[in-house]
Amino acid sequence: MPDSSKGDYWFRAQGPAVAVVLLVLVIAGGTVGYILTDHYGAWDALYATVLAVTTLEAPPRLSRAGEVFTVVLVLGGVGAALYTFTLMTTVVVEGGLPKRLQRRRHARMLDTVKDHFILCGYGRIGRIVARQFMRQRVPLVVVDRDADRIQEAIDDGALGVEADASREETLKRVGIERARGLIAAVGTDAENVYAVMSARVLRPDLFIVGRAETEDAIQKLRRAGADRVISPYQIGAVQIAQTALRPAVVDFVALATSSESLELAMEEIPIGAGSVLANQTLVSANVRGRFGVIVVGIQHEDRRMEFNPAPESTMHAGDKLVVLGRVDSLKALEAEAAG
């Protein structure tokens, strides 16, 4: 079934341009007409045309052919001018002009955004993910086939594109070559698998998180190339059980991982190749004493996780420290670890 709203959008977007072109053609035609009928110079012909179109004053010393032409010109010119001014006023009053400017700004931002995450899907899970990213001021581009959801994402402060996230053209449009990661959280497992596969083909090094509804989908997403696969139902069930059995532990973890916490935070901090921390042990670098943080674990470059590392554990370039501490302390450590 055709979408009539697209036709209305085309009229509103193209109407002002057509009206302006029509008015220019009338003025240009009037100028040429006076040159041919009464042998005016170029400036006199343009001047006479403008006077005729605006009905301010009739051009003097006209021949019969010039008078006939003036009548036609006045009728056409006034009609074109009224159409142009009325349409432009309608566009401004109805908010069309601000919307067009917003779309242009949106397109420019899509062309320049980098180190961002691509969020495929803006349903219940996608909205929660987007809020977390925006609270931490992480650049985000939302892709969804539903126009209403994309408008909600834009209203919430994210960049949004109405398209199929499984298509390579869409992923290129949202800057996958400049992206930091991709999250496949579309409504069905099949769509998430296709989105992950397309992203992995375009960016073999991209970090990809996939959402799975079923146990079978978890294996398919991993084979498709997802670095991490999350099952909201499984995580929710585990959270309920842990809350019932160990509420204090759950409260502590929630406080440490919440983006709204100002007192305590848990963060992963990568060790850069040029960092002074590289190839040092925790005790020789005095991480605890200098920064007042607790190193909960070290994820080595081969993705092996070392929990509760000993003071003699060595930090290498490419490792990631899982650290617990105050926000300002974490930022200081992150600056030194970056090198």
129 with 208, same domain: the answer is yes
Q: What is the mean pLDDT of the chain?
A: 83
Q: Amino acid letter at 192?
A: N
216 with 142, same domain: the answer is yes
241 in any annotated domain: no
149 with 214, same domain: the answer is yes
61 with 128, same domain: the answer is no
CATH of the domain at 62: 1.10.287.70
Q: Is the pLDDT of residue 21 over 60?
A: yes
What is the reported pLDDT for 137? 87
The domain of 10 spans 4-94
Count of residues for the chain? Answer: 339
What is the reported pLDDT for 110? 84
99 in any annotated domain: no
pLDDT digits (tens, 9 = 90+) for 264-274: 778 899 999 88
What is the reported pLDDT for 223? 93
Q: What single DSSP character describes residue 163? A: S
Compute the chain's Rg from CA coordinates: 32
Nearest Cα residue to 80 out of 13, 14, 21, 8? 21
Q: What's the first-to-final CA gap in the chain, in angstroms?
A: 58
**Cβ neighbours of 323 (radius 10 Å):** 23
188 with 220, same domain: the answer is yes
Question: What tokens were used for 4?
Answer: 């009539």
Nearest Cα residue to 311 out of 284, 276, 289, 282? 282
60 in any annotated domain: yes
Give the Cα separation of 117 and 180 in Å (integer). Answer: 6
64 in any annotated domain: yes
Give the Cα separation of 38 and 45 in Å (integer). Answer: 9
105 in any annotated domain: no
Task: pLDDT band for 9, please (50, 70, 90 cuts).
Answer: very low
User: Which residue among 170, 204, 235 closes a domain?
Assistant: 235
230 with 253, same domain: the answer is no
Using DSSP, state whether 7 is helix, strand or coil: helix
User: Which residue among 183, 200, 235 closes a domain?
Assistant: 235
Give the Cα separation of 50 and 57 in Å (integer). Answer: 9
277 with 255, same domain: the answer is yes
What is the reported pLDDT for 197? 95
**How many domains does the chain divide into?**
3
Using DSSP, state whether 121 is helix, strand or coil: coil
117 with 203, same domain: the answer is yes
Between CA 6 and CA 10, with CA 9 as vertex, the angle to 5 degrees is 90
Asked whether the beta carbons of 141 and 175 are under 8 A apart, the reply is yes
300 in any annotated domain: yes
Asked whether the beta carbons of 298 and 320 are under 8 A apart, the reply is yes
pLDDT digits (tens, 9 = 90+) for 188-243: 999 999 999 999 999 999 999 999 988 889 999 999 999 999 998 888 888 899 88
pLDDT digits (tens, 9 = 90+) for 170-193: 999 999 999 999 999 998 999 999
106 in any annotated domain: no
271 with 229, same domain: the answer is no
224 with 149, same domain: the answer is yes
Asked whether the beta carbons of 196 and 226 are under 8 A apart, the reply is yes
pLDDT digits (tens, 9 = 90+) for 77-125: 777 777 777 777 766 666 555 666 667 777 788 888 899 999 999 999 9
Q: Is the pLDDT of residue 1 over 50?
A: no
Q: Is the pLDDT of residue 279 over 80?
A: yes
Q: What single DSSP character describes residue 271? A: P
CATH of the domain at 132: 3.40.50.720
73 in any annotated domain: yes
CATH of the domain at 281: 3.30.70.1450
12 with 82, same domain: the answer is yes
